[in-house]
């Protein structure tokens, strides 16, 4: 057999013309600048190639993108785009090089147990398509282990755009935040900050996109039907391939009788035969049509030595259960099986469905195998499995792998509302600092033990703090001096104040979901009686502001004090100031709309009075400035606190 000629082609790399080909031993892909006789500038080992991408035939530009696996752990994969520049043979040259690379990659990965084995080449060239399928599997092999990392997800712009097309609410938040960002903040920094808090969404969406439909019981989905006395059967190429994979017997019958029979005649007779009912797991009756072609295969075996991913992996002897039967010299029977467990010739559904399920599951790759790691040691036992099965009881406790946390003390940033200490309080603080806690506790315990025996009859704790529980006074205090009376814990005034505060919170939360006031028109049931467009803008503004707050505190609480982080923190603080300005503008617009609605209702009342002579009842108009500030009450508090902390840091008061 003559050796395969190594293809070569004219291709440019980084706008520099050259020649791309493979070495004579087919171990490396090389590119040399024109005329192509010098040493190669780029040399990529075929074993390190992880992905091959080529522009579709509809694209006039012919580009072959070769991705090489990272040279160091944690590094990004290197991509080499080669544009083929031949005037007439560019597409053919690219196809030839890609096909040869795919075939070599398939051969290199042929021993990998986690990948399906290619079928042997037949006279019709079926092996070539199997090799291409293998290369595609190799190209996507490292996907779950590399492409789902945080850095790769944050850099995948196409994935982010696709997610925002699917999630319109997320797209609105992104666009609003991008329009509101400071001009000094670059788009790259904004994207990095925005998606850093949404890595879980990107990862879940990437996994969803890479999930593919698995094998299924294809015979049960094909139902022939009769229309006007003619048999109608809809079957496509994919379903035929699945039938051949799941039922090798059908494939054997097909190869023996086609083209003696036409394709349509073969499948029409098959789906009306008893063999089809048996393979579907249905009961065969005497009234079923007989077909001499298929009936002679009713007792034939429907199994073949089909290569499977799970069976290709050698099982270590220590857990090989089937090996016990081999070592014992055959099956050892016991008592006779129950009557319900005995096989029946006329009810093959359980056996058929179980056999089909085994075939489908046999070609599912196991989820506990890491293709990037060495599968087995020299003894034939999986390295990870041998570690799990090793006796661990005599070993010492493993040293805990702790993670060092760098925590910044931020307690001083949230004491701005507390009054400064007076001279007396400062003196008391210094006095308390010099006392020994154990001595103080001993003296207090001694006083508590002698309360009953010191002649004073104990201590009235309520009276000691100025509370008289028997008094009906609103202040509930013994202090008769003028001025506001302090609220003591447990007093009636404190309980009443707490009750009122809880009720006010419930009213505020309820007003966010329904209208306030006495108007009960169903069309007016909007949050805080705000117009629909204002309420929608308020929702987006709230989400955008919360995003800026999250980014600000994430950067602020990080342990990185580099100048770049300080500059980024200043940008985010400026964004917080602008966020409050947007809330103020939204409140003013809501108030303007409220005034317009009030004027409209006043005109309606006057017109009604002129027509009927009766005064219409005035319905209070909700919404407006107060409603917007009520909605943003918590967010505004967070903005003010964050801006105050930033001012303290910028002023050097921290």
List, in order of start, the domains of the chain with CATH numbers.
8-145 (2.30.29.30), 148-210 (no CATH), 212-313+344-362 (no CATH), 430-477+486-503 (no CATH), 519-650 (no CATH)
pLDDT for res 531: 83
CA distance 403 to 380: 36
Residue 64 has pLDDT above 80, yes or no: yes
CA distance 328 to 322: 10
pLDDT for res 514: 58
pLDDT for res 377: 52
Q: For residue 125, what pLDDT band results from cuts at 50, 70 and 90?
A: very low
Residue 20 DSSP class: E
| Choice between 474 and 170, residue whose per-residue pLDDT is larger | 170
Residue 123 has pLDDT above 60, yes or no: no
- The mean per-residue pLDDT over the stretch 232-236 comes to 79
Range from 183-187, 225-229, 376-380 carrying the lowest mean pLDDT: 376-380
pLDDT for res 420: 57
| Tens digit of each residue's pLDDT (9 = 90 or more) over 488-517 | 666 777 888 889 889 888 877 776 665 544
- The mean per-residue pLDDT over the stretch 285-308 comes to 73
pLDDT for res 487: 65
Q: For residue 413, what pLDDT band results from cuts at 50, 70 and 90?
A: low
Reference 240, options 259, 214, 264, 261; nearest CA is 264
Q: For residue 469, what pLDDT band results from cuts at 50, 70 and 90?
A: low
Range from 89-93, 235-239, 362-366, 424-428 carrying the lowest mean pLDDT: 362-366
What's the predicted TM-score (pTM) here? 0.38
- The mean per-residue pLDDT over the stretch 606-622 comes to 84
- The mean per-residue pLDDT over the stretch 530-537 comes to 82
Q: For residue 467, what pLDDT band results from cuts at 50, 70 and 90?
A: low
| Tens digit of each residue's pLDDT (9 = 90 or more) over 331-358 | 455 555 555 555 565 555 677 777 777 7
What token pair was written down for 546? 């919360």
Mean of all residue pLDDT scores within the chain = 73
CA distance 580 to 587: 11
pLDDT for res 483: 53
pLDDT for res 519: 43
Percent of the chain as helix, strand, coil, to the nearest 5: 50, 5, 40
Reference 579, options 264, 219, 176; nearest CA is 176
Q: Which residues make Cβ contacts (< 8 Å) with residue 201, sequence separation at least 6?
A: 163, 167, 170
CA distance 355 to 239: 19
């Amino acid at each position: 057999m003559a050796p395969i000629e190594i293809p070569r082609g004219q291709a440019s790399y980084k706008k520099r013309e050259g020649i791309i080909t493979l070495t004579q031993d087919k171990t490396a892909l090389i590119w040399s600048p024109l005329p192509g006789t010098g040493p190669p500038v780029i040399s990529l080992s075929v074993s390190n190639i992880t992905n091959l991408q080529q522009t579709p035939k509809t694209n006039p530009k012919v580009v072959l993108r070769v991705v090489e696996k990272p040279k160091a752990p944690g590094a990004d994969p290197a991509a080499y785009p080669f544009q083929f520049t031949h005037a007439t043979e560019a597409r053919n040259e690219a196809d030839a090089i890609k096909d040869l690379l795919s075939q070599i990659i398939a051969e290199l990965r042929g021993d990998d147990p986690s990948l399906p084995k290619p079928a042997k080449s037949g006279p019709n060239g079926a092996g070539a398509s199997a090799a291409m399928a293998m290369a595609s599997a190799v190209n996507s092999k490292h996907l779950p282990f590399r492409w789902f990392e945080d850095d790769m997800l944050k850099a995948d712009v196409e994935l982010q755009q696709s997610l925002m097309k699917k999630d319109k609410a997320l797209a609105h938040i992104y666009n609003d935040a991008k329009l509101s960002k400071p001009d000094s903040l670059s788009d790259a920094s904004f994207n990095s900050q925005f998606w850093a808090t949404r890595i879980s969404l990107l990862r879940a969406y990437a996994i969803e996109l890479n999930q593919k439909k698995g094998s299924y019981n294809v015979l049960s989905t094909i139902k022939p039907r009769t229309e006007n006395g003619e048999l109608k059967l809809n079957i496509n190429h994919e379903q035929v391939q699945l039938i051949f994979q799941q039922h090798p017997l059908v494939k054997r019958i097909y190869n023996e009788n086609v083209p003696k029979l036409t394709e349509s005649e073969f499948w029409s007779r098959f789906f009306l035969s008893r063999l089809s009912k048996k393979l579907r797991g249905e009961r065969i009756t005497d009234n079923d049509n007989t077909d001499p072609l298929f009936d002679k295969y009713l007792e034939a075996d429907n199994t073949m030595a089909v290569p499977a991913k799970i069976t290709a992996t050698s099982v270590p002897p220590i857990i090989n259960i089937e090996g016990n039967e081999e070592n014992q010299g055959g099956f050892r029977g016991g008592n006779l099986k129950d009557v319900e467990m005995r096989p029946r010739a006329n009810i093959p559904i359980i056996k058929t469905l179980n056999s089909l399920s085994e075939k489908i599951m046999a070609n599912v790759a196991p989820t506990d195998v890491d293709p990037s790691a060495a599968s087995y040691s020299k003894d034939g036992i999986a390295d990870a499995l041998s570690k799990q099965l090793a006796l661990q009881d005599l070993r010492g406790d493993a040293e805990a792998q702790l993670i060092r946390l760098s925590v910044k003390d931020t307690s001083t940033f949230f004491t701005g509302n507390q009054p400064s200490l007076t001279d007396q309080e400062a003196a008391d603080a210094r006095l308390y600092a010099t006392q020994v806690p154990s001595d103080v506790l001993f003296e207090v315990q001694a006083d508590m033990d002698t309360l009953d025996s010191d002649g004073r009859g104990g201590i009235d704790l309520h009276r000691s703090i100025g509370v008289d529980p028997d008094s009906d006074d609103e202040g509930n205090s013994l202090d008769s001096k003028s001025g506001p009376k302090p609220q003591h814990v447990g007093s009636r005034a404190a309980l009443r104040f707490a009750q009122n505060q809880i009720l006010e919170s419930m009213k505020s939360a309820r007003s966010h979901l329904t209208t306030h006031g006495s108007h009960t028109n169903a069309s007016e049931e909007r949050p805080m009686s705000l117009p629909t467009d204002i309420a929608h803008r308020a929702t987006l503004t709230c989400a955008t502001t919360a995003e800026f707050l999250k980014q600000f505190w994430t950067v602020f609480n990080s342990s990185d004090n580099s100048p770049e982080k300080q500059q980024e923190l200043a940008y985010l603080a400026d964004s917080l100031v602008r966020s409050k300005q947007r809330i103020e503008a939204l409140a003013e617009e809501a108030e303007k709309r409220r005034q317009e609605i009030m004027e409209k209702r006043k005109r309606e009342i006057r017109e009604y009075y002129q027509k009927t002579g009766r005064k219409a009842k005035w319905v209070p108009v909700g919404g407006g400035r107060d409603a917007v500030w009520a909605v943003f009450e918590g967010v505004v508090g967070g903005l003010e606190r964050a801006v105050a902390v930033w001012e303290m840091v910028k002023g050097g008061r921290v």
